[in-house]
Amino acid sequence: MKRYYKLVLLLGVISFSSCEEVLELTPVGLETQEQADNTPTITIIENLTRSSYELLSNRLNIMGEWNWPGGLVFQNDYIMQDIASDDMEKKWNPDGDQPWIDEINNFTFTSENGGPNGLWKYNYEGIKRANTAIEHLTNPEIETITGISEARKNQLLGENYFIRSYYYFSLITNFGDVPLILRPVKTFEEAFEVAVRQDKNLVWEQIQSDLLLAKDLLPNSKYSSDTERWRASKGAALALLAKSHLYNENWSAVPPLVDQIAGLGFSLNAHYFQNFTAEYNDNEVIFSFDHQTNAVPRRGNGICAPLGWGFFAPSEDFLNAFEPNDPRKSLTVNVADQNVNKMLGSLNGANKGNDDAPNNKVYIRFADVLLWKAEALLETGDTAGAIAIINQIRNRARTSTDAEGDLPPAGTLPDRPASNDPATVKGWLISERRVELGFENQRLLDLKRWGIAKQVMTAHGKNFQDKHMLYPIPQSEIDASAGTLTQNDY
């Protein structure tokens, strides 16, 4: 294997001891960098793009083989955003299994914890793959070399710009300043050159630049492909662009972007749980990973396996956050049977324990996007507009049947009344986001950006300190960079 390919894992997994372990795995159905460089074909370009998505999958052991302490068995968003918050506990019955997750839960983790390690490596591996695809797709001769059409080239390029921006969004919101790598790394010298944290403002600029390119390159339609609706679309690019403005408090930019998404045909599903079933036939899901059973390469939803081992349970505080008879409570979690319905994509325990389940992982859906607009309107003084959107979300909830198939009684989830008090409306918004988006990897990031994480976590009995606004850079990455990478306070 070429020395070049040993480096192509990029900075995120440049700790060379782990590189060798990862590279021993044969990427069945995917292409190596060496193959892509030597014989670029349409098939290789297509497979490079598919591989860029893979790090968003809940497939088990993408980055290794049962490396639990390294946080590499599955992507760690449930651990880092839900278990770390006041919504989720590690297990239904507490035990000593996987103590590194307990350290995340009680904020006693160090830079050697598997949570940040896995989060970092998954994202930079995804960036590496997207960069490889982008390098080929931006080759001015690629159409001549491969015979790919201009329209298909543009679509694949737009998808990879979106995917790269998604991985960087995860990195910047969890680690702050991070290395900004926009091309494949081909030498040791280049590897150390890029092992430098860039100011987060530059990273945000790159995220938004990629998304602006993506939205113009992707088809001007609800789906990029009617037969492969899982592919990143113009709506996905617009949504992540709106979210980036939300996180930077550029409030006025958010509502028009949300309106453009609606203009593409996205809307709320009639029933809340339609978002989480295995079928991809709804109106609301803007971006998700399309898990498939018995696919080659393997593409199933492996997160359902640890659910069968007793992992992932609601906190009492989360259960108490729901108003009486809110159907979303039983649709999210079945306490009696210890099933997290949302994560299983079923209301009867189906998929529990299945390491190759078919249910999709939802990343962006229209209800989330609407609540971004509500927040932006509130921050710009339009309390009436914000309340109207909150009530739209509540109306869909109260007209959904619960997990038993029953409609809630009259008077459930009444509309929020008119109010000119921003603090009151903000409280309603915070409550609505929690119950609407519970167990969707939003809670801790929301609390942090609202500036109330310490207050809420302390009230929940957690040892959250100011330094926990960011996770530590994995110590293995600090060591591999010979100290070029600097550490967050932890």
Q: Check: CB of residue 165 under 8 Å from CB of residue 215.
A: no
Backbone dihedral region for residue 353 (phi beyond 0: left; psi -120 to 50: alpha; all else: beta): left
Query: 10 pLDDT exceeds 60?
Result: no
* Stretch (H or E) spanning 350: none
Q: Are residues 281 and 376 in the same domain?
A: yes
Q: Are residues 180 and 300 in the same domain?
A: no
pLDDT in the model for residue 54: 96
Q: Are residues 271 and 158 in the same domain?
A: no
Q: Are residues 118 and 28 in the same domain?
A: yes
Give percent of the chain above pLDDT 70. 91
Q: Check: CB of residue 240 under 8 Å from CB of residue 211.
A: yes
Residue 187: pLDDT band with limits 50, 70, 90: confident
Residue 235 is assigned to a structural domain of this protein: no
What are 128-159's pLDDT values in tens digits?
Answer: 999 999 999 999 999 999 999 999 999 999 99
pTM: predicted TM-score of the whole model, two decimal places: 0.93
Give the number of other Cβ atoms within 10 Å of residue 325's Cβ: 17
Query: 480 pLDDT exceeds 70?
Result: yes
pLDDT in the model for residue 64: 87
Tokens 């939300």 -> residue = 246
pLDDT in the model for residue 161: 98
Residue 242 is assigned to a structural domain of this protein: no
Q: Are residues 81 and 30 in the same domain?
A: yes
Separation of alpha carbons 15 and 430, rounded Å: 40
Residue 6: pLDDT band with limits 50, 70, 90: very low
Separation of alpha carbons 21 and 67, rounded Å: 11
Bigger pLDDT: 52 or 23? 52
Residue 483 is assigned to a structural domain of this protein: yes
Considering the chain, what is the average pLDDT of its residues?
Answer: 92
pLDDT in the model for residue 282: 77
Q: Are residues 197 and 335 in the same domain?
A: no
Which two structure tokens, joined as six digits, stand for 415? 């509309």
Residue 230 is assigned to a structural domain of this protein: no
pLDDT in the model for residue 26: 35
Residue 246 is assigned to a structural domain of this protein: no
Give percent of the chain above pLDDT 90. 86
* Least confident span in 198-207, 290-299, 417-426: 290-299
Please report, for the domain that includes residue 360, its CATH number. Answer: 1.25.40.390
Q: Check: CB of residue 232 under 8 Å from CB of residue 217.
A: no
Separation of alpha carbons 9 and 15, rounded Å: 9
Domain range for residue 355? 251-450
Query: 14 pLDDT exceeds 90?
Result: no
Residue 36: pLDDT band with limits 50, 70, 90: low
Residue 12: pLDDT band with limits 50, 70, 90: very low
Q: Are residues 162 and 270 in the same domain?
A: no
Q: Are residues 309 and 408 in the same domain?
A: yes
Query: Sign of torsion, CA 271 276 282 286?
Result: positive
Q: Are residues 350 and 398 in the same domain?
A: yes
Residue 241 is assigned to a structural domain of this protein: no
Mean pLDDT along residues 37-59: 91
Domains in the chain: how many in total?
A: 2
Residue 231 is assigned to a structural domain of this protein: no
Residue 490 is assigned to a structural domain of this protein: yes
Q: Are residues 151 and 293 in the same domain?
A: no
Q: Are residues 288 and 325 in the same domain?
A: yes
Q: Check: CB of residue 361 under 8 Å from CB of residue 277.
A: no
Separation of alpha carbons 281 and 320, rounded Å: 32
Separation of alpha carbons 233 and 290, rounded Å: 14
Q: Are residues 64 and 11 in the same domain?
A: yes
